[in-house]
Amino acid sequence: MSYCPKNNLLNLLRRGSKFFRKASNSAAPTVAPTSTPGQASSSAAAISSTSAMDDLHILKTRLCIIGSGPAAHTAAIYASRAELKPILFEGWMANGIAPGGQLTTTTDVENFPGFPNGINGIELMDHCCKQSLRFGTQILTETVNKVDFSTTPFKVFTDSKTVIADSIIVATGAIAKRLDFPGSSEGPGGFWNRGISACAVCDGAAPIFRNKLLAVIGGGDSAMEEATFLTKYGSIVYIIHRRDTFRASKIMQQRALTNPKIQVLWNSVVVGAYGDENTNNRVLGGLKVKNVLSGEVSDLKVSGLFFAIGHEPATKFLDGQLELDSGGYVTRPGTTLTSVHGVFAAGDVQDKKYRQAVTAAGTGCMAALEAEHYLQEIGSQEGKTD
């Protein structure tokens, strides 16, 4: 089953029909002929074995892509055009995000080439999905929960399928860490994507933030960088930090602390967000900020809040199959290579610096080309002809 962001209702209906078919089959009474206990036991074992075989789906492919964002789909487009006939696992709410990755949680994307008027994040990923399908990618809406890279061909597992692949591209991305407090979520009463974001570079230039009071939560290099970036657009940028010192590098601290448009709220945490009454609470109007030493809670009028508390790469499912750095990112910086020959990585899962849709797409292209060269190499060694 393939999924494009706009087609989620159709896929839910398909899933529902499958569920009811299974429920109907399991609920149907079984009438067995009269038999001895031994015969009955043998029949039950045979039925159980047949059922297990029916539930096991084994697929074979030259290239399996794990992921659903710009990196994964760019890899799929290049691989499909090279007639590698890739299988792509886009996941089902993997890491709490719909197929399409982090872009499905954003509104207007204004810095992706080719869209002079910007494009909605969901719509952009819908285009990517359709382009992958157009060239023949097989997209499966299932989440990979285990892999085996110890031998070739490699194996990829979901709850219902096993894929045997000659090569792999891991493009599962990284999730921006978010804080949970009243008003921070999507949905009713929440201001996520209505003033609250986790990417200043992606969203900071939006009209709702221009010449407004803004805030950044964090104390590392990312927080310093994002706060400094936001001074291009906001009138004042507050850095809210729970301690009395930053953990950022000295040079990054200096840049932030000497910027006249940046103010720091030390020993402070955000405990709530509320709406702007002038817009009938449609967008963020301010924050409730608590001083952790005195316990005092005060109002901070801002139109934008940016989380800059780090990212978590989606690599736990690898379970030690690839070398990772201390932050969980796939190693081999500057390349799409990994510690396993024939397994490649693309996008934010291997990029802790840029983390942009366009750079992810670029590494998706690189990974697909590397995979194609690898497959040609092993085909030549084995005396195969494509």
Q: What is the pLDDT of residues 186-239, one digit of tens each?
A: 888 999 989 999 888 888 888 999 999 999 999 998 899 899 999 999 999 999
The string over 329-341, giving b where at least 16 C-beta atoms fall within 10 Å of a residue's C-beta and e elsewhere, is bbebeeebbbebe
Residues paired with residue 213 on neighbouring β-strands, in sequence order:
236
Q: Which residues are catalytic?
A: 199, 202-203
At a CB cut-off of 8 Å and minimum separation 6, what does 54 contact?
Answer: none
Using one digit for the tens of pLDDT, what is the confidence trace for 190-203?
Answer: 999 899 998 888 88
What region does 155 belong to: left with phi over 0, alpha with psi -120 to 50, or beta? beta
Superfamily of domain 196-307: FAD/NAD(P)-binding domain (3.50.50.60)
pLDDT of residue 131: 97
Helix, strand, or coil (residue 77): helix
Domain 57-176+311-378 falls under CATH 3.40.50.300: no
At a CB cut-off of 8 Å and minimum separation 6, what does 94 contact?
Answer: 68, 143, 172, 314
Using one digit for the tens of pLDDT, what is the confidence trace for 243-258?
Answer: 999 999 999 999 999 9
Task: Say yes or no to pLDDT of 38 above 50.
Answer: no
pTM of the model: 0.69
CA triple 290-178-128, angle to 5 deg: 155
Could you state, in order of their start, the residue ranges of all structural domains in the chain? 57-176+311-378, 196-307
Range with the lowest mean pLDDT among 45-49, 218-222, 297-301? 45-49
pLDDT of residue 10: 39
| Topology alike, domains 57-176+311-378 and 196-307 | yes
pLDDT band at 48, cuts 50/70/90?
A: very low
Does residue 33 have a cis peptide bond before it, meaning omega lies within 30 degrees of 0?
no
- Which two structure tokens, joined as six digits, stand for 54? 């029916």
Residue 328, classified by CB atoms within 10 Å of its CB into exposed (0-12), middle (13-18) or buried (19+), is: middle
pLDDT band at 44, cuts 50/70/90?
A: very low
Average pLDDT over residues 341-361: 93
Average pLDDT over residues 259-267: 98
At a CB cut-off of 8 Å and minimum separation 6, what does 177 contact?
Answer: 198, 307, 309, 310, 311, 312
